[in-house]
């Protein structure tokens, strides 16, 4: 039976990788950058070799897709967690009218490998937690170091590294406060998850949901915030995604990712109400059992409303 802690250590040292559950598509044509810039939250007009963390939002600013972009000499390569290459191709095609753009399902050409180091020539570099040009960091606490890349390895070649389960990365991701598709539900907005750091360009021009993004950033607050939980493991009860998070007798959120880290023990990410006191001791409810949880801020309760103070009437 595999040793999860040994696999975590091997992953952290770069000795193994995970196979990422994501589709791959290749976008070509002279208008490829212009079309995707009109759809995605990030500005993706850099030279060949540039990589981007980006999102697709609906008109109300809610997250629909995570999109990792690799700029090649004559194409854009898209890695989209949770979709197949065919679904990515259909999505891009639906955004093309008269523009010079073609998109190809590339699932059969590549295997997506996630690791702390790259393999081969085509690699997406995760910028988290460093804020990117056009992004914004609210008064969040420091995010622990996070080293992660996704490599497009030719499917016709033998894998260059042994694989472990994709969930092996969860512990390190939780410590880094790095959101993923696991943190996205049907009402998630980027501010709640800290994604304005890396995936949103606030001054790039129009994209779906931009008005909501700007409104929350300038004069509003998101309803929830991402928090890291350190869990009491003394009763050998471990949290799982979907478990309720309570403050006193009130349910205030839900666990989105949980792991037993080889150094930190039981930890989790959760989405909770933004207004929950930052010093409150929380409880995770698992199958009728309660697990005490100490919260660490990933996204500040004060997130948003950056312009509210200057918009107030002047006071003497």
The domain that holds 279 is classified in CATH as 2.40.30.110
The percentage of the chain sitting over the pLDDT mark of 70, rounded to a whole number, equals: 95
Q: Verify that 82 and 147 share a domain, yes or no.
A: yes
Q: Verify that 191 and 232 share a domain, yes or no.
A: no
Residue 312 has pLDDT above 60, yes or no: no
Quick one: pLDDT at residue 140?
Answer: 58
Range of the domain at 260: 224-297
- Report pLDDT digits (tens) over 252-268: 999 999 999 999 999 99
Q: Verify that 228 and 110 share a domain, yes or no.
A: no
* Banded model confidence at residue 151, pLDDT cuts 50, 70, 90: very high
Q: Is residue 82 part of a domain?
A: yes
Question: What is the DSSP pairing of strand 250-261 with strand 244-247?
Answer: antiparallel
The C-alpha atoms of residue 220 and residue 305 are separated, in whole angstroms, by 5
Q: Verify that 152 and 193 share a domain, yes or no.
A: yes
Quick one: pLDDT at residue 2?
Answer: 78
* Banded model confidence at residue 316, pLDDT cuts 50, 70, 90: very low
Q: Is residue 290 part of a domain?
A: yes
**Token pair for residue 235?**
């009763």
Residue 143 has pLDDT above 90, yes or no: no
Beta bridge partners of 103: 27
102-105, strands of its sheet edge to edge = 51-57, 63-71, 76-81, 22-28, 102-105
CA dihedral defined by 159, 152, 26, 104, rounded to 10 degrees?
A: 20
Quick one: pLDDT at residue 271?
Answer: 98
Quick one: pLDDT at residue 205?
Answer: 85
HSE, side-chain direction, 13 A CA sphere, residue 157 = 11
Q: Is residue 208 part of a domain?
A: yes
Residue 141 has pLDDT above 70, yes or no: no
Q: Is residue 194 part of a domain?
A: yes
Quick one: pLDDT at residue 299?
Answer: 93
Residue 1 has pLDDT above 90, yes or no: no
* Banded model confidence at residue 303, pLDDT cuts 50, 70, 90: very high
Closest CA to 24 of 166, 149, 154: 154
Q: Is residue 316 part of a domain?
A: no
End-of-domain residue from the set 219, 251, 272: 219
End-of-domain residue from the set 149, 184, 219: 219
Exposure string of 242-253, with b = 16+ CB inside 10 Å and e = fewer, is ebebbbeeeebb
Q: Is residue 302 part of a domain?
A: no
The C-alpha atoms of residue 265 and residue 232 are separated, in whole angstroms, by 9
The C-alpha atoms of residue 124 and residue 50 are separated, in whole angstroms, by 8
Q: Domains in the chain: how many in total? A: 2
Q: Verify that 200 and 277 share a domain, yes or no.
A: no
End-of-domain residue from the set 168, 195, 219: 219
The C-alpha atoms of residue 304 and residue 223 are separated, in whole angstroms, by 10
Residue 309 has pLDDT above 60, yes or no: no
Q: Is residue 163 part of a domain?
A: yes
Q: Is residue 13 part of a domain?
A: yes
Q: Verify that 134 and 273 share a domain, yes or no.
A: no
The percentage of the chain sitting over the pLDDT mark of 90, rounded to a whole number, equals: 87
Pair 237, 286: CB distance under 8 Å:
yes
The C-alpha atoms of residue 229 and residue 296 are separated, in whole angstroms, by 6
E strand residue ranges, the chain: 16-19, 22-28, 51-57, 63-71, 76-81, 102-105, 110-115, 123-125, 149-154, 162-164, 224-231, 244-247, 250-261, 265-273, 282-286, 289-297
Residue whose structure tokens are 């790039």? 204
Domain of 182, CATH number, reads 3.30.1360.120
Q: Verify that 201 and 243 share a domain, yes or no.
A: no
Over range 114-131, report the average pLDDT. Answer: 96
* Banded model confidence at residue 44, pLDDT cuts 50, 70, 90: very high
* Banded model confidence at residue 134, pLDDT cuts 50, 70, 90: very high
Reply yes or no: is the peptide bond before residue 129 cis, omega within 30 of 0.
yes
Q: Verify that 244 and 258 share a domain, yes or no.
A: yes
Helix, strand, coil shares of the chain, percent, nearest 5, are: 20, 35, 50
Q: Verify that 77 and 130 share a domain, yes or no.
A: yes
Question: What is the DSSP pairing of strand 224-231 with strand 289-297?
Answer: antiparallel
* Banded model confidence at residue 315, pLDDT cuts 50, 70, 90: very low
The DSSP 8-state label assigned to residue 101 in this structure reads: -
Q: Verify that 129 and 113 share a domain, yes or no.
A: yes
Residue whose structure tokens are 């998109």? 103
Q: Verify that 141 and 167 share a domain, yes or no.
A: yes
Quick one: pLDDT at residue 313?
Answer: 52
Closest CA to 188 of 288, 299, 95, 286: 299
Residue 78 has pLDDT above 60, yes or no: yes
Quick one: pLDDT at residue 144?
Answer: 64
Q: Verify that 247 and 210 share a domain, yes or no.
A: no
What is the overall mean pLDDT for the chain?
Answer: 93
């Amino acid at each position: 039976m595999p040793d999860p802690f040994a696999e975590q250590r091997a992953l952290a040292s770069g000795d193994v990788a995970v196979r990422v559950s994501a589709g791959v598509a290749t976008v070509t044509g002279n208008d490829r950058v212009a079309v995707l810039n009109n759809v995605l939250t990030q500005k993706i007009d850099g030279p060949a070799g540039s990589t981007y963390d980006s999102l697709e939002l609906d008109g109300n600013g809610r997250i629909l897709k995570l999109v990792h972009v690799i700029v090649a000499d004559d194409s854009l390569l898209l890695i989209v967690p949770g979709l197949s290459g065919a679904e990515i191709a259909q999505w891009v095609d639906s955004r093309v009218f008269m523009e010079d753009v073609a998109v190809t399902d590339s699932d059969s050409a590549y295997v997506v490998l996630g690791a702390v180091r790259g393999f081969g020539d085509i690699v997406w570099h995760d910028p988290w937690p460093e804020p990117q040009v056009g992004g914004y960091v609210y008064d969040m606490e420091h995010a622990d170091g996070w080293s992660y890349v996704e490599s497009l390895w030719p499917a016709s070649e033998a894998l260059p590294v042994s694989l472990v389960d994709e969930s092996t990365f969860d512990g390190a991701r939780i410590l880094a406060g790095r959101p993923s598709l696991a943190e996205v539900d049907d009402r998630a907005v980027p501010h709640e998850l800290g994604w304005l750091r890396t995936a949103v360009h606030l001054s790039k021009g129009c994209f779906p949901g931009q008005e909501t993004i700007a409104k929350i950033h300038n004069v509003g607050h998101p309803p929830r915030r991402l928090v890291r939980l350190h869990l009491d493991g003394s009763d050998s009860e471990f949290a799982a995604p979907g478990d309720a998070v309570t403050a006193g007798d009130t349910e205030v959120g839900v666990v989105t990712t949980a792991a037993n880290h080889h150094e930190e023990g039981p930890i989790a990410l959760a989405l909770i109400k933004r207004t929950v006191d930052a010093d409150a001791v929380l409880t995770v409810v698992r199958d009728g059992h309660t697990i005490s949880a100490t919260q660490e801020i990933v996204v500040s309760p004060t997130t948003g409303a950056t312009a509210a103070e200057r918009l107030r009437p002047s006071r003497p």
